[in-house]
Structure 1
Amino acid sequence: MAGNNALTAADEYQDLLLESPGFPEFLLGLATISASRLRTDGSTLECSITVERDGAPSTVACSSEEGHRLDETQYALDAGPCLTALRGQRTVLVNDFPGDERWGQYLEVIARDDVHSVLAVPIATAAASKAALNCYAHTMHAFDPGTVARIEDHAGSMSRILRLALRLHAPEVFPDGLRAALQSRALVDAAVSLVMLQTRGGRDDALDLLHVAATSSNRRIQEIAREIVDGGQLSAPPLGRQG
């Protein structure tokens, strides 16, 4: 392995591409490498990488389950710093979420996860695709100008290998029914996160409340979820009292 840091990173990326059985696994490796390389002073940093191409469902890979949940919530709400960075191809920095008024309910959701700073940086890819690196921190003002520049450089170092991976791995073809199912699942996940915020309860209880609301009103759970994501409040009998 070469001693130069840039060459070491390139070798690591190439090994990852050669060893990954598919594109999602490759992205997961990139996200994990990013979290490891960018973490400083023992601080907790979650990283995710999102790729959109040719109208296919987005591929999201995260270094932690928490990061995955936060990214999925962005996509269900169709709003958030990562989406803004990816679609606008510009760096987006949020150093204090309680003081930021962008992206509406997404800020309420991630406040529950004690996330206070986010940095989203685009990764240059081919014309038919877009990608971004998203970094979550649990402290305010976690990304000073030097840290932002370092993360932008890191995102730039991944551009070449990501473009190669996109050429080697064709996008998956999803039947319309499966595509709709994936979107529906993301919507319900976002609603569950919002119910958790409203009730200060756990995930299982929030999902149970959605099921109770759907059953008591004789409606689909996706309809209830859409209302919650659009700003409504959950209306359902307390658990243990329904029926």
Structure 2
Amino acid sequence: MQDLLLESPGFPEFLLGLATISASLLGSDGTVTCTITVERDGGAATVASSTEEGRRLDETQYSFGDGPCLTAARQQRLVLIADLENDERWSDYLEAALQEGVRSVLAVPIPTDAFSHAGLNCYAGTVGAFTAETVGLLEQHAAAMSRVLRIALRLHGTDIHPEHLRAALKSRAVVDAAVSLIMLQQHGGREDALQILQLAAKSSNRRMHDIATDIVRGAGLPGAEQDER
């Protein structure tokens, strides 16, 4: 995470990398979406999302003013909903989430500072997607994320603008997400990860964006394929 902070070209890219890494911990098939909510100065924003659907789910929750993710961030306590159809809390929001195909939710608090609240939100399309082992893993991950996120918020807190983050998500999200995953696997820097993508694109005569899309959706990383050879 520290390498990601140092190597990312901007704050939106760093946050996007955090969300993508979080989603990758829960599987490579793309069935779980992760987002990061930060609330400060009375306003909540999704500062990063591993998918556009995740951002939309968060923003729907903000429109209701309450929900599992906001509760986890504000009260700094874990919220687990194994089956949205059998949970009576936040009924309006949960009904909206069900309409989007969500069946289970896990929201984990991320300790930050006295002036902000943060949470890691995970959405899945299956009932009971988050086991006790998964919950423990995400709690450890959130604790590890806490220190580097506090540093990033101090350095770049004024850069949190949802419209800028949406633009980054639409224009560069796929490539940046793939770069973050390659950095995680290869324990290298951003430039090395980009080079792996560029070489893969050249050798396969495909666009780098298309290869990045495959990686985010769970395909093998180019670096791993080269190592196997």
TM bin, normalised by shorter chain, reads 0.5 to 0.7
Q: Deviations 1:92-137 (Å, cap 9, x if unpaired)? A: 0000101111112111111112111100000011111111000011
Q: Deviations 1:140-195 (Å, cap 9, x if unpaired)? A: 11112111111111111101110110111132498xxx99xxxxxxxxxxxxxxxx
| 1:87 matches 2:74 | yes
SS of 2:33's equivalent?
strand
- The equivalent of 2:116 in structure 1 is 129
Q: CA RMSD in A?
A: 2.2
| 1:62 matches 2:52 | no
SS of 1:143's equivalent?
coil
For the 8 Å contact 1:22–1:169, the answer to whether it is kept is no
Alignment partner of 2:2 out of 8, 14, 17 = 14
Aligned counterparts of 2:84 and 2:160: Cα–Cα separation in 1: 37
Alpha-carbon offset, residue 59 of structure 1: 4.3
- The equivalent of 1:166 in structure 2 is 153
Aligned counterparts of 2:113 and 2:19: Cα–Cα separation in 1: 19
What amino acid is aligned across from residue 125 of structure 2 in structure 1? H
Unaligned 5+ runs, structure 2: 164-229
| 1:150 matches 2:137 | yes
| 1:49 matches 2:36 | yes
Query: TM-score, structure 1 length as denominator?
Result: 0.62
What amino acid is aligned across from residue 163 of structure 1 in structure 2? R
Query: TM-score, structure 2 length as denominator?
Result: 0.66
Alpha-carbon offset, residue 57 of structure 1: 5.2
SS of 2:112's equivalent?
coil
For the 8 Å contact 2:108–2:139, the answer to whether it is kept is yes
- The equivalent of 2:16 in structure 1 is 28
Of Structure 1 and Structure 2, the greater helix share is in 2
- The equivalent of 1:119 in structure 2 is 106
Aligned counterparts of 2:139 and 2:53: Cα–Cα separation in 1: 22
What amino acid is aligned across from residue 151 of structure 1 in structure 2? L
Highest CA radius of gyration, 1 or 2?
1
- The equivalent of 2:96 in structure 1 is 109
Higher relative contact order (CA 8 A, sep 6+): 2
Unaligned 5+ runs, structure 1: 1-12, 180-243
4+ long deviations beyond 3 Å: 54-57
For the 8 Å contact 2:37–2:44, the answer to whether it is kept is no
- The equivalent of 2:83 in structure 1 is 96
Alpha-carbon offset, residue 61 of structure 1: 1.1
SS of 1:169's equivalent?
helix
- The equivalent of 2:59 in structure 1 is 72
Aligned counterparts of 1:121 and 1:110: Cα–Cα separation in 2: 18
Q: How does 1:144-223 map to 2 (within 5 A)?
A: 144-172=131-159
